[in-house]
Amino acid sequence: MSTHDRTPESTDDVVRYVTTCRVCGSEEWQEVVSFGEVPLANGFLEVTDSVAQERAYPLEVISCRECRLLSLTAVVDPQVLYRTYSYVTSDSETMARHMRTVAELARDRYGLAEGDLVVELGSNTGDQLLAFREAVGARVLGVDPARNLARIAEDRGVPTLPDYFDSATARAVAGEHGKASLILGRHVFAHIDDVADVLAGARELLTEDGLFTIEVPYAVDLVERLAFDTIYHEHLSYFLISTLDRLFSRHGLRTVDVERLAVHGGSVLVSAGRADGRWQTSERVRELIAAERDGGYLSDARYEAFATRVRRTCADLTALVRGLVAQGHRVAGYGASAKGTTLLNICGLSSEELEFCTDTTPQKQGRLTPGTHIPVLAPGDVTEQPDYYLLLAWNYAEEILAKESRFLNEHGGFIVPVPEPTVRTGAVSAK
């Protein structure tokens, strides 16, 4: 029996198993890939935590044969998933530049103007909204259920509701602040199970010519670049543009525009306007939808090939790392990313192979990686550099390799895990 056929009786209190497609309502699924049970990607342990009590949940991807939504089978209760949320938007050059780009795009292409209201769901510590305030002079409001993050944002001058964005929140915001010219969700929409309620809320909160803009990992990039480690319990959905287009039109919205982005291994910034508003669908949207069809993304074969490549890359990576360790080399992880949790757990790499992981996030330092229990160190606490770093934050490869050119020149190499494991050594010119 496949997991998504589980009867409701087997659904425990914190996991819901998907039967109906959250986009189109179909129940016809293709099983794409199953990684077995994996702990939560951001569930870093305290050294004093009992390892025996660490929970793991099924991590499996299915594809809807009707609309080609890629979905996880297991939806972990957000209360469990985000209770101890250690994810903070990376304090990196790459991300700061990206956030400025998003704000400038809204200003230059979509005419966002001074004084317009921008509401962001999943606003984290407020960096993106600060970029909007700076580039546009917009009024800003964040919505983020993680109280610790909402407080940090408030301290930085970004008003933030410590809440989930749903239709009730949207109504309350409209009542108190008026309608929004832009509702933005960067890397949060793919985390949402009840997308219908969020879209209903967004539609109500938007001005007639406002835009609902989301940034999500692009299913085509996931498949083409083999970014399979971006599969973890927080990411419930991987969208094609054609799938989103179908979703928007079901909820009184029209797809307006799309922009492909390099962040997080390949993402799309997709904007939708009210179906009764003035925005029309851009040529870029039509072209991508046609390319998805022509590229085979509406058929099973594309996803079967993906699963085969994932298994091969994983086996190659494990062989490479174990080979280096067997030769007496010391290997450590670089960037204790959420992606890293998937990668290490499904490839079977643990503290047997990796001595430690470095990470710049204070909330992760001094803790252990989920499932694999590798100690996380601040980069400054590494007393002796290893021979190789496995780059678990490969989405920042360029920035990191440039920053670590001295290590590369004087010590050793970086193993970049995807799309296929490669070892980078020697001088890397700074950008």
Task: With contacts defined by CB under 6 A, name the span among 24-32, 109-117, 245-253, 355-363 that binds ligand TYD.
Answer: 355-363
Q: How many CB atoms lie within 10 A of CB 123?
A: 30
Q: From Zn ion, ligand TYD, none, which one binds at residue 335 (CB under 5 to 8 Å depending on kind)? A: ligand TYD
Note whether 282 and 269 are within 8 A (CB). no
Determine, following the binding rule CB under 5 A, whether residue 298 of this chain makes contact with Zn ion: no
Stretch that binds Zn ion, among 18-26, 77-85, 228-236, 252-260 (CB under 5 A): 18-26
C-alpha torsion 403→407→412→418, nearest 10: -10
**Sheet harboring 413-416: ordered strands across?**
376-377, 354-358, 331-334, 388-391, 413-416, 422-424
26 binds, among Zn ion, ligand TYD, none (CB under 5 to 8 A by kind): Zn ion
Residue from 15, 18, 23, 344 binding Zn ion (CB under 5 A): 23
Among 6, 16, 24, 177, binds Zn ion (CB under 5 A): 24
Of 92, 207, 351, 405, which one interacts with ligand TYD (CB under 6 A)?
Answer: 92
Is there a contact between 373 and 349 (Cβ–Cβ < 8 Å)? no
Tell whether residue 21 is a contact of Zn ion (CB under 5 A): yes
- From the list 53-61, 162-170, 291-299, 360-368, the region that binds ligand TYD by CB under 6 A is 360-368
Residue 231 interacts with ligand TYD (CB under 6 A): yes or no: no
26 binds Zn ion (CB under 5 A): yes
Compute the distance between CA of residue 203 and CA of residue 199 in angstroms, rounded to an integer. 6
H/E element, 276: none
Position 338, amino acid: A
For the chain, what is the radius of gyration of the CA atoms? 21
- Identify the residue among 361, 365, 369, 372 touching ligand TYD (CB under 6 A): 361
Q: Check binding of 215 to ligand TYD (CB under 6 A).
A: no
In the list 63, 90, 128, 167, the residue contacting ligand TYD (rule: CB under 6 A) is 90
Q: How far is the CB of 299 from Zn ion (least distance, A)?
A: 14
Place of tokens 């989301």: 214
Cα torsion 263, 261, 97, 191: sign: negative
Q: Is 320 in the site for Zn ion (CB under 5 A)?
A: no
Q: Does 338 bind ligand TYD (CB under 6 A)?
A: yes
Residues making up the chain, counted from first to last: 431
Residues 120, 53: Cα–Cα separation, whole Å: 35
Cα separation values, 196 from 58, 67, 178, 401, Å? 25, 15, 22, 41
Stretch of 66-74, 147-155, 165-173, 334-342 contacting ligand TYD, by CB under 6 A: 334-342
User: Is residue 365 near ligand TYD by the rule CB under 6 A?
Assistant: no
Number of residues that bind Zn ion (CB under 5 A): 8
Footprint of Zn ion on residues 59-78 (CB under 5 A)?
64, 66-67, 69
Q: What tokens appear for 386 in the block?
A: 């290893």
d(CA 211, CA 217) in angstroms, rounded, equals 19
**With binding defined as CB under 5 A, does residue 195 bind Zn ion?**
no
Q: How far apart, in whole angstroms, are the C-alpha atoms of residue 302 and residue 294?
A: 11
Residue 88: in which H helix or E strand, if any? none
Residues that bind ligand TYD (CB under 6 A): 90, 92, 335-339, 358-361, 364, 393, 395-396, 399-400
Residues that bind Zn ion (CB under 5 A): 21, 23-24, 26, 64, 66-67, 69
